Amino acid sequence: MTIEEIYPTIDLIGFIDEFPKARVLVVGDVMVDEFIWGKVERISPEAPVPVLEVIRETRLLGGAANVVNNIKALGGGVYVAGVVGKDGMARYLIDEHKRIGVETKGLIQDQQRPTTIKTRVIAHQQQVVRFDRENKAPIDESVKDKILKYTRSLADKIDAVVVADYGKGVIDVELVEELVEISRQHDLILSVDPKVENFFCYKDVTVITPNHFEAEDSVGVKIVDEASLLKTGELILERLNCKNVLITRGEDGMTLFEDGGDVVNIPTVARDVFDVTGAGDTVISALTLSVASGAMMRDAAFISNYAAGIVVGEVGTAVVSDVRLKDAIHSALNSKDKLRATRRKGTKDRQ
């Protein structure tokens, strides 16, 4: 069977213009991304390790909170549901959500848990080390009930739910099953940025976006060529009974497996890759907003690919504005190197 070349067939910019009308709830592991920036010019006399001269420190919304930040930057309406501690970093997260115009009723404070912090040390534009402060134990049932109550209160106001799973205890089978049922009842898009440990929790969702390694680990197939890639995507579709799978593949771009059996390979548009931190957050944000704004899944995948191509060219957790995304698409589609994709026609339709 031959593979034919295709282009995005619908005005992608038009979908981005519709982003402000879309409303998305992000459910998952909110956290703080902390960065310590500096330079290394000598080795410590105490041990054979580099000495970092700290120049500055920054804090950003991380994890599920970075998905919130991405959706907001892209112009979408967004809500958040997650768990924080009763500490200084919880105050930071709450204040930052308020600052960008996101209500914080869904951020449940649990004094038994610390607010999750990921600290990255950056020297000469390269990440040297990361250390995490967290509690990955499952959240209490009372906290889960509050998250679901908040979700139900929004169900008639939103178009989509994003599950942003970082394996910090918020997401489990019971929570996902409830989110699937709420989404079914209210005809909502349900998107998942997965964690391998919870992979088979995500049954019956609209779309799941594993990276190359998560996809391999989830079904036990090493992706080494087109045949193994196709097998991996098909197995995920079958085992999760989901409608779409978007495998992000780094420098090889993305591959979308659609519920009708089609497979679309989308090459990367990234010119330079400095840091992939938060790239998955950008993908799930742009993808979900696009579908909520009327795009078909493959057009949404093209849009998310452009967005990812922007953020990987920056160091640290980054977001993409709607203006910058439209500029990137305009530039690419007006150039000689138009983004092309390949499609393999499925042999059977999925129910």
> Known catalytic residues?
281
Contact (CB, 8 A) for 38 and 322: no
**How far is the C-alpha of 143 from the C-alpha of 170, rounded, in Å?**
9
Q: Count the alpha carbons within 13 Å of 91 in the hemisphere toward its beta carbon.
A: 3
Q: Residue 351: is it exposed, middle or buried by C-beta count within 10 angstroms (0-12/13-18/19+)? A: exposed
Residue carrying structure tokens 């998560």: 214
**How far is the C-alpha of 231 from the C-alpha of 183, rounded, in Å?**
28
Contact (CB, 8 A) for 315 and 278: no
**How far is the C-alpha of 239 from the C-alpha of 184, rounded, in Å?**
19
User: Would you give the DSSP letter of residue 260?
Assistant: T
State both tokens at 36: 């310590």
Q: Are strands 30-43 and 50-63 parallel, antiparallel or unpaired?
A: antiparallel
State both tokens at 97: 């959500």
Beta-bridged to residue 5, according to DSSP, are 342
Contact (CB, 8 A) for 55 and 124: no
DSSP run (H or E) holding 190: strand 189-193
Q: Of the candidates 307, 317, 302, 252, which has an alpha carbon nearest to the alpha carbon of residue 282?
A: 307
Instruction: Report how far Cα 73 is from the mean position of its chain's Cα atoms.
Output: 14
**Residue 120: other Cβ atoms inside 10 A:** 22
